[in-house]
């Protein structure tokens, strides 16, 4: 069995797929989640499928002391830190929640890591730390100007990790994500947020008749008048995290990397693709348009390719097909 990895937020969308992939690769996995936005069902699935020696779960809030978990789970090799509140719109409406969960919660994790000599972390950050793009594709040298509390909270945590790296010997890989889509390749683990904040998920839900689909993007100056975004498959994304663990194991230097596809798809292109794949010409209704949406945004991923040897392997079609498989089995997602 490989090394022991602590996964925060392992009952959520990205964290549960990460846990599934780690277990498949024979890592020993310990999950922390308070189930506020995560779900018990994927954890129960892991407990049934894998032995207690390989998988364990603790219901714990990262805003509170985690020392009891670290004390019980000796010899944690590294932390994959996914746990966070992650809605831009909600962060504007409720900033205290974002600074409490994302900043204070992360400080609790980092403090416990340092006390128990866990010196490796892979952190789930966001392209929102860049703010409005001055150019694209956006590379890691782009200026930092987060324009919402979500992006700011993630940037603060990045700086905390960098500081602990400089002063306390913590080693890290920080990933700045673009838009995440898809489910596990076998369609077993997927997105249960309801309503979802993700375009691809919502379009598939609309095609399958789970709920009406609404366009919430503004009209912008692109070919089809809809915004262009970078949609990265969740398995590709988490594969980068596992590669980062191996990179840190091999004494790789701490680094910050973008994760995306390096290209963009327009919102209407995605909708048309979902219609074509599902064979359903579902109605597309106009909802309230989000404000402050840039016309084009996608990542430069050359650094991730250079440092980790990572590149996306799954197509947008793969992402849509895995979501169709997931939602056909779980039209309402995991149930609370």
Strands (E), 60-170: 78-81, 120-126
- Please name the residue that has the structure tokens 């922390």: 32
Pairing of strands 228-229, 265-266: antiparallel
Among the options 20, 27, 150, 247, which is catalytic? Answer: 150
Whether residue 267 contacts residue 213, with contact meaning beta carbons closer than 8 Å, is answered with no
Quote the tokens at residue 101. 């969960």
Angle value at C-alpha 113, between 236 and 259, nearest 5 degrees: 20
The helices-and-strands tally (H runs, E runs) of the chain is 12, 14
Identify the H or E element spanning 4: strand 4-8
Answer yes or no: 150 catalytic: yes
The rounded distance, in Å, linking the Cα atoms of 332 and 80 is: 27
Which of the 8 DSSP states describes residue 127? G
- Cβ burial of 1 (10 Å; 0-12, 13-18, 19+) is exposed
Q: Which residues are catalytic?
A: 150
């Amino acid at each position: 069995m490989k090394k022991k990895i602590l996964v925060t937020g392992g009952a959520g969308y990205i964290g549960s797929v990460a846990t599934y992939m780690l277990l498949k690769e024979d890592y020993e996995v310990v999950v922390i989640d308070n189930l506020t936005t995560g779900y018990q069902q994927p954890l129960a699935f892991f407990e049934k499928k894998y032995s207690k020696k390989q998988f364990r779960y603790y219901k714990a809030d990262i805003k509170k002391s985690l020392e009891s978990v670290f004390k019980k789970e000796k010899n944690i090799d590294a932390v994959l830190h996914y746990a966070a509140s992650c809605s831009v719109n909600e962060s504007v409406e409720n900033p205290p929640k974002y600074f409490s969960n994302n900043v204070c919660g992360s400080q609790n994790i980092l403090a416990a890591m340092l006390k128990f000599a866990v010196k490796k972390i892979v952190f789930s950050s966001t392209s929102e730390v860049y703010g409005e793009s001055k150019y694209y594709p956006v590379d890691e040298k782009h200026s930092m100007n987060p324009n919402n509390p979500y992006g700011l909270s993630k940037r603060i945590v990045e700086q905390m990790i960098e500081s602990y790296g400089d002063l306390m010997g913590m080693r890290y890989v920080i990933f700045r994500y673009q838009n995440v889509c898809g489910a596990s390749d076998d369609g077993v683990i997927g997105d249960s947020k309801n309503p979802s904040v993700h375009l691809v998920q919502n379009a598939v839900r609309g095609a399958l008749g789970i709920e009406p689909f609404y366009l919430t993007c503004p009209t912008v100056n692109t070919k089809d008048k809809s915004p262009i975004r970078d949609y990265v498959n969740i398995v590709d994304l988490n594969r980068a995290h596992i590669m980062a663990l191996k990179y840190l194991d091999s004494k790789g230097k701490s680094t910050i990397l973008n994760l995306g596809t390096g290209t963009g798809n327009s919102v209407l292109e995605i909708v048309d693709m979902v219609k074509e794949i599902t064979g359903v010409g579902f109605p597309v209704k106009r909802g309230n348009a989000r404000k402050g949406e840039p016309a084009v945004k996608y990542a430069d991923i050359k650094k991730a390719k250079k440092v980790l040897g990572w590149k996306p392997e799954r197509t947008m079609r793969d992402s849509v097909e895995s979501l169709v498989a997931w939602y056909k089995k779980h039209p309402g997602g995991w149930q609370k």
